[in-house]
Structure 1
Amino acid sequence: MVEEQITGKVVDIDADGTLTIKAGVPSIDRALLRQYKDCLIVLDDGRHISPVQRRKIYALIGEIDEYVNGIRTEAGMEEQKAILKMEFMLKRMTDAERRVFSLSNCSVTVATNFIGFLIDFILANDIPTRFPLYEQADDIERYVYACLANKKCAVCGRPCDLHHAEGSRIGMGSDREKVHHLGREALPLCRKHHDECHGMPEREFLGKYHLVPVKLNDKLCKVYGLRR
């Protein structure tokens, strides 16, 4: 439990990554009485949301509003924005991070995480979009993981097959049910894009759609019923 919160300034960063932080305590007598030793440090991102990130967020909120209300309106988008921001704060922010944020001046980190939350919401609720979601993702690896978890093609959003990336493929004649899949790199691709991937060098395919393979963990192996 956080007993007292204060703010400070980073005054130096050593080559080994050690921070020197200068902070004042509200009460020197209380500090001496409690004998503070350990503390939780939350580092704020000093960068502000970019215009590109803001456009992505409003594009995603617009798709959600249109799906929920049948039409996209300014009032509907404002309502969805307020609901989604609250859901994001409650479900994705830690207690130390949780605070009201504005899309006019929030940090790059908050904007990136909010974009990821909106994409997760769209994938989990089968919300159609006018644009490929990979074009809106700030964190491509996180996006591919979300597509894997929801069994959606990372290119078009259709139901997917599991494509094992180069270096993680299962040899000819091997029984997939007996082979361990944990740690193998994979992509979620529909049949059309799976065939496209096999029809060209994988590096070319990844570059075309700006994707990266993701290692299968316990959760993803369970989703696909794969041996770990």
Structure 2
Amino acid sequence: MEIASGKIRDITPDKLIIEVPYTNIERACLRKYSEVLIGLPDNRKISPEQRRKAYALIEEISIWSGYEPIEVTKETTKMQFLLQKDCIKFEMFSLSNCSITTAREYITFLIDFIIKNNIPTKRPLLPLCEDINKYVYACLMNKVCAVCGKPAQLHHVERIGMGRNRNTINHLNMLVLPLCGIHHIECHGMPQYEFNEKHHLVPIKLTAEIGKKYNLSNKNLEVKIWNDLN
């Protein structure tokens, strides 16, 4: 893959007009270039709120690791974050002037790290998250309550009961949330939309991967032929 830099000359309702200076016409003809991949960097800078969130999470990891200096934890986690990213260019970033997108992805990485390693925190993670869908998914996969971080049960947004047998129905693609016993009871005591709005949660569809975490049988995770045809 060859990388070339260009500039956006115009933005229309349905396309970008991009100009890329290029002089090696023989190579272009030899390689029969016909398509390109375009990276669009976010030029918006990290917000003060994002910076506060990032440092709060770094502090939690630093304390868990044995009071490692925050600066050391910050640089270590930044390196780990970059190593797991599928990016063309490996570039270190700064929390003083990185893009909003980089800050968002880094904060999501820190939260995932805390959840996967069962790191105790002084504050709930939910108010610190930037990507609610990825946060809920990480909580589901690690069986922690998306509201408070305690051990979680699987809550079905489409309530099971009233003639529906949880042992025989197909759970795949049903909307779910990971909730502890207390928040599970709270959720069942009010309309689902009120609970979602109160805690700023977004349910996600149950996948086979999530189902296996909660010991759902293969029968419960089968995709019905009728659903496939409709």
TM-score by shorter chain over 0.5:
yes
1:53 corresponds to 2:45: no
- Give structure 2 stretches of 5+ with no counterpart: 222-230
Which of these residues, 13, 22, 26, is aligned with residue 15 of structure 1? 13
1:172 corresponds to 2:162: yes
CA drift at 1:29 = 4.5
CA distances 1:71-107 after superposition (whole Å, capped 9, x unpaired): 3x6xx1111111111111111x213253211111111
CA drift at 1:177 = 2.2
User: In 2, Cα distance between the equivalents of 1:211 and 1:99?
Assistant: 33
Cα distance 1:79–1:26, how it changes in 2: closer, same or farther (>3 A)? farther
Task: Name the SS for the 1:20 alignment partner.
Answer: strand
CA drift at 1:26 = 5.5
CA drift at 1:138 = 0.9
TM-score by length of 1: 0.89
User: In 2, Cα distance between the equivalents of 1:97 and 1:180?
Assistant: 43
CA drift at 1:173 = 3.7
Within 5 Å, give how 1:142-221 maps onto structure 2. 142-165=134-157, 168-221=158-211
CA distances 1:33-66 after superposition (whole Å, capped 9, x unpaired): 4442222211111211111001100000000000
Task: Name the SS for the 2:65 alignment partner.
Answer: helix
Count of residue pairs the alignment pairs up: 218
Structure 1 runs, 4 residues or longer, greater than 6 Å off: none
Task: Name the SS for the 1:48 alignment partner.
Answer: coil
- Give structure 1 stretches of 5+ with no counterpart: none
CA distances 1:165-219 after superposition (whole Å, capped 9, x unpaired): 1xx2223243212211111111100001111111222222212211111111121
Which of these residues, 20, 26, 39, is aligned with residue 36 of structure 2? 39
Within 5 Å, give how 1:57-206 maps onto structure 2. 57-69=54-66, 71=67, 76-91=69-84, 93-165=85-157, 168-206=158-196
User: In 1, Cα distance between the equivalents of 2:196 and 2:23?
Assistant: 53
User: In 1, Cα distance between the equivalents of 2:111 and 2:142?
Assistant: 11
Cα distance 1:222–1:12, how it changes in 2: closer, same or farther (>3 A)? farther
Q: How large is the RMSD of aligned CA atoms in angstroms?
A: 1.6
CA contact (8 A) 1:25 1:31 kept: no
User: In 1, Cα distance between the equivalents of 2:212 and 2:205?
Assistant: 13
Moved more, 33-42 or 156-165: 33-42
Which of these residues, 22, 39, 58, is aligned with residue 25 of structure 1? 22
Corresponding letter in the other structure for 1:39: V
Corresponding letter in the other structure for 1:90: L
Corresponding letter in the other structure for 2:76: I
Quote the sequence identity (%): 51
User: In 1, Cα distance between the equivalents of 2:80 and 2:16?
Assistant: 33
CA drift at 1:163 = 0.9
Cα distance 1:199–1:97, how it changes in 2: closer, same or farther (>3 A)? farther
